[in-house]
């Protein structure tokens, strides 16, 4: 449904589209700015719509390899982290969604790489680039802002001259670029996160579990071991301590900040933590590298096999929201004078996307026979609504979480 809504947005005129992006969908404004011209140049076929996410995920993998080699000075850690991220079921699944999460993951890797470049350059220009990129990346997803905030801890461990001054300038640039995002958070909150569950231990545990791929083994365990090893290295190698702190803070910082904010306003959702998934891959690869070349390579192979098993299970799982099959079923079964509706009306975007006939979004059945596409948790409500409108439910068909109700108008007698 969310994918179809984003595609539906792109049909708006640019003025309305920009207002939607920055006043209604601020946390994916950057993705929407990319999506509209992309679809204008191509088509709205499913694979075309989702292709940018594939590209962003692949780019995140490639850039993570370069980042890991630069931070750890180890090809094993670089290649291992890239392979772990590429085979993570979380990365794979969201790289196949027409949503902003693969872009957010790429931006998280990008701003981290730019920070390393800026710290090691001792020049102002890289810091200005970093500041601009950090401000822009917030529009990929607000949780990228939590990644940027967590990076401040690493800077406290640097021993390079001028870092504090350069960072202050970069932070000013980032804040200037991110001002519309801050305005959105403060003044345009119209319930975008009102659906998020309140903070509980079980909610936090579930979010971490799902963000890690839906399994506690092997990636979360290796990530935890890697985090401890990074902490040890901070004490052992003072001159390079900031690099290890950077990875460790990237791994846990966004989660801890999200938990802290959620005490006042719930914002923690498992998919939002995708911004820390590259850090988890880095920590896991670093832990494996400490086993030595041969044993580490063997262990990495086992981890990749386990990861691909999770990916296989994800591919084999039944569709959750099979809008395509539901709407095509109606298109083949309905008569030309039948009415096709979505209930409630705000569910119309995916129905319109796949339908070959007109979709009535008025929530008002008028034809002798009508077909209603709805969500699983709205079936009872839809049945009551149809009865009030003078219709009876003749047949119900399910397509995952999507249900199709065939309605017939009561006879006048």
- Per-residue DSSP letter, 193: T
Q: Which residues contact 125 (CB under 8 A, 6 or more apart)?
A: none
Cα–Cα distance, 175 to 32 (Å, whole number): 21
Residue 192, pLDDT score: 76
Residue 328, pLDDT score: 95
What the block records as the tokens of 37 is 């011209």
Residue 171, pLDDT score: 97
Give the pLDDT confidence of 285-331 residue by residue, as tens digits: 999 999 999 999 999 999 999 999 999 999 998 878 999 999 999 99
Q: Which residue has the tokens 């996160």?
A: 193
Please tell me whether the peptide bond between 218 and the residue prior to it is cis, using omega within 30 degrees of 0.
yes
Contact assessment for residue 31 and residue 103, using Cβ atoms and an 8 Å cutoff: yes
Instruction: Using DSSP, state whether 381 is helix, strand or coil.
Output: helix
Under-50 pLDDT residues of the chain: none
Give the pLDDT confidence of 249-286 residue by residue, as tens digits: 999 999 999 999 999 999 999 999 999 999 999 999 99
CA angle, 33 as apex, 347 and 18 as ends, to 5°?
75
All structural domains of the chain: 2-316 (no CATH), 323-409 (3.30.110)
Q: What is the DSSP annotation of 150-183?
A: HHHHHHTT---TTHHHHHHHHHHHHHHHTHHHHH
Q: Which residues contact 315 (CB under 8 A, 6 or more apart)?
A: none
Residue 159, pLDDT score: 83
Burial status of residue 229 (CB atoms within 10 A of its CB: 0-12, 13-18, 19 or more): middle
Contact assessment for residue 195 and residue 252, using Cβ atoms and an 8 Å cutoff: no
- Say if strands 369-375 and 402-409 run parallel, antiparallel, or are unpaired: antiparallel
Residue 412, pLDDT score: 59
Residue 190, pLDDT score: 66
């Amino acid at each position: 449904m969310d994918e179809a809504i984003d595609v539906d947005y792109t049909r708006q005129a640019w003025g309305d589209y920009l207002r939607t992006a920055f006043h209604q969908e601020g946390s994916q404004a950057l993705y929407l700015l990319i999506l509209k011209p992309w679809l204008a140049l191509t088509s709205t076929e499913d694979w075309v719509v989702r292709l940018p996410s594939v590209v962003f995920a692949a780019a995140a993998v490639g850039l993570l390899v370069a980042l890991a080699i630069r931070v750890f000075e180890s090809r094993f850690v670089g290649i291992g982290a890239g392979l772990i991220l590429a085979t993570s079921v979380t990365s794979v699944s969201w790289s196949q969604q027409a949503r902003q999460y693969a872009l957010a993951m790429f931006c998280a890797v990008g701003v981290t790489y730019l920070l390393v470049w800026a710290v090691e350059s001792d020049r102002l220009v890289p810091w200005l680039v970093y500041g601009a990129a950090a401000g822009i990346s917030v529009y990929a997803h607000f949780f990228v802002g939590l990644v940027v905030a967590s990076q401040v801890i690493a800077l406290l461990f640097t021993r390079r001259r001028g870092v504090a001054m350069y960072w202050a300038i970069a932070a000013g640039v980032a804040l200037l670029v991110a001002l519309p995002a801050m305005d959105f958070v403060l003044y345009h909150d119209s319930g975008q996160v009102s659906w998020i569950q309140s903070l509980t231990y079980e909610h936090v545990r579930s979010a971490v579990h799902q963000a890690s791929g839906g399994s506690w083994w092997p990636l979360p365990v290796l990530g935890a071991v890697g985090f401890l090893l990074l902490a040890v290295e901070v004490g052992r190698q003072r001159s390079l301590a900031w690099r290890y702190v950077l990875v460790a803070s990237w791994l846990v910082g966004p989660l801890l900040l999200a938990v802290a904010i959620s005490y006042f306003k719930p914002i923690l959702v498992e998919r939002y933590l995708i911004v820390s998934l590259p850090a988890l891959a880095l920590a896991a690869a670093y832990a494996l590298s400490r086993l030595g070349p041969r044993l580490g390579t063997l262990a990495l192979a086992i981890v990749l096999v386990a990861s691909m098993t999770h990916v296989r299970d994800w591919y084999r799982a039944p569709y959750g929201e099979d809008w395509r099959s539901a709407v095509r079923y109606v298109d083949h079964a309905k008569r030309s004078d039948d009415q096709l509706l979505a209930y409630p009306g705000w569910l119309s975007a995916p129905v319109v996307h796949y339908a070959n006939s007109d979709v009535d979004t008025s929530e008002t059945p008028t034809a002798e026979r009508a077909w209603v596409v709805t969500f699983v948790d709205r079936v009872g409500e839809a049945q009551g609504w149809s009865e009030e409108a003078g219709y009876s439910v003749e047949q119900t068909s399910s397509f995952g979480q999507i249900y199709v109700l065939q309605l017939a108008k009561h006879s006048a007698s």
